[in-house]
């Protein structure tokens, strides 16, 4: 899909901050960075989906989206908790979720995209959950026991997400003129963020090399085939080739993430001592 050159950070910028990690901390640093990516993907999409609560087209869909959000925030709780432990600076999962700013988030750009209408949300969710299910399927074999355990648990839940998103993409794509138009628009919005899911930058490569992560390139073709199969059933053509946008993994986010964080982080930042 990605034949056009991507939009990325300015050349020379690493987005990695000003200090270097000593070599003996390299594995710990890679593990921290990798867990942050996993956790931030789940956290941001979980928060995004929760915006639908009380606004979905029907009560069943409302419950479904809230359940997606719950599963994703559950994944984030595990991954960010482990990230805090890997970092060894005393930061808990909550601290990482609520006391980092936009530039420190490592989620992919797809998950922070606005919900738009229901079709746009389902387009995003098809593209993400298909990828996440395949990623977790591979992470079950991670050499990192904790990552493998969460992946084995979550992959069964994500399969439900992917099934429901696929059904809605098919129903809306092969539905009325209006639902079809909206689904085409939704896919068109989200399509340019797919290549970032398959980006193998330095962190991803090192995580894959040491066995805790996965070379996502291994399932790119399979992913494309699965997405195309759902679109074919929805009587939709894959969107036209678009210029991919990268940068989320290095903290270079769209304006949408800041607005999401403002809502999500307001309470713990305003009342830092608040407890349940």
Partner 1 sequence: MVASARIQDVGAQLWRVLEGVPDPEIPALSVVDLGIVRAVDASRVVITPTYTGCPATQVIERDIRNALDAAGFRDVAIETMLSPPWTTDWISAAGREKLKAYGIAPPTPAGQSAVECPQCGSMKTEELSRFGSTPCKAQWRCRDCLEPFDLFKCH
Residue ranges that bind partner 1, judged by CB under 8 A: 46, 60-61, 63-64, 66-68, 70-75, 77-78, 145-146, 148-150, 152-154, 156-157, 160, 163-164
Q: Which is nearer to partner 1, 67 or 115 (CB)?
A: 67
CB of 18 to partner 1, least distance (A): 36
Torsion 30-33-37-39 (CA) sign: positive
CA dist., res. 248 & res. 104, Å (int): 10
Looking at the Cβ atoms of 16 and 140, the one nearer to partner 1 is 140
CB of 38 to partner 1, least distance (A): 12
Residue by residue, DSSP assigns 80-131 as HHHHHHHHTSS--HHHHHHS--GGG----HHHHS---SHHHHHHHHHHHHHH
Shortest distance, position 164 Cβ to partner 1, whole Å: 6
d(CA 43, CA 172): 27
Residues 6+ positions from 180 with CB-CB distance below 8 Å: 172, 173, 174, 236
Q: Which is nearer to partner 1, 64 or 113 (CB)?
A: 64
Task: Tell me how far apart the alpha carbons of residues 45 and 108 are, in angstroms, rounded to a whole number.
Answer: 10
Contact 246, 196 (CB under 8 A): yes
Residue with tokens 């987005």: 15
Shortest separation between residue 156's beta carbon and partner 1, angstroms:
6
Q: Which is nearer to partner 1, 102 or 149 (CB)?
A: 149
Least distance in Å: CB of 118 to partner 1?
A: 15
Task: Report the residue number, 158 or 203, with the smaller CB distance to partner 1.
Answer: 158
């Amino acid at each position: 899909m990605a034949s056009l050159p991507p939009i990325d950070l300015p050349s020379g910028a690493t987005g990695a901050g000003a200090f270097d990690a000593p070599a003996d901390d390299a594995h710990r640093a890679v593990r921290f960075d990798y867990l942050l990516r996993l956790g931030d993907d789940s956290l941001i999409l979980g928060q995004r989906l929760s915006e639908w609560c009380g606004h979905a087209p029907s009560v069943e869909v409302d419950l479904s989206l809230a359940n997606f959000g719950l599963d994703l925030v559950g994944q984030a709780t595990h991954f960010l908790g482990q990230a805090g432990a890997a970092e060894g600076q005393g930061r808990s999962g909550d601290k990482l979720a609520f006391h980092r700013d936009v530039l420190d988030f490592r989620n992919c750009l797809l998950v922070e995209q606005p919900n738009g209408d229901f079709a746009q949300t389902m387009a995003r969710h098809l593209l993400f959950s298909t990828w996440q299910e395949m990623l977790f399927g591979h992470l079950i074999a991670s050499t990192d026991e904790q990552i493998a355990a969460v992946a084995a648990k979550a992959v069964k839940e994500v399969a439900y997400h992917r099934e429901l998103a696929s059904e809605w993409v098919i129903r809306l794509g092969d539905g009325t003129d209006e639902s079809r138009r909206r689904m085409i628009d939704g896919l068109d919005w989200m399509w340019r963020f797919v290549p970032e899911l398959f980006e193998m930058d330095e962190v991803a490569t090192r995580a894959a090399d040491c066995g805790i992560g996965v070379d996502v390139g291994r399932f790119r073709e399979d992913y494309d085939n699965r997405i195309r199969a759902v679109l074919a059933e929805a009587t939709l053509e894959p969107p036209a080739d678009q210029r991919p946008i990268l940068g989320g993994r290095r903290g270079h986010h769209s304006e949408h993430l800041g607005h999401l964080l403002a809502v999500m982080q307001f309470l713990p930042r305003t009342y830092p001592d608040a407890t349940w």
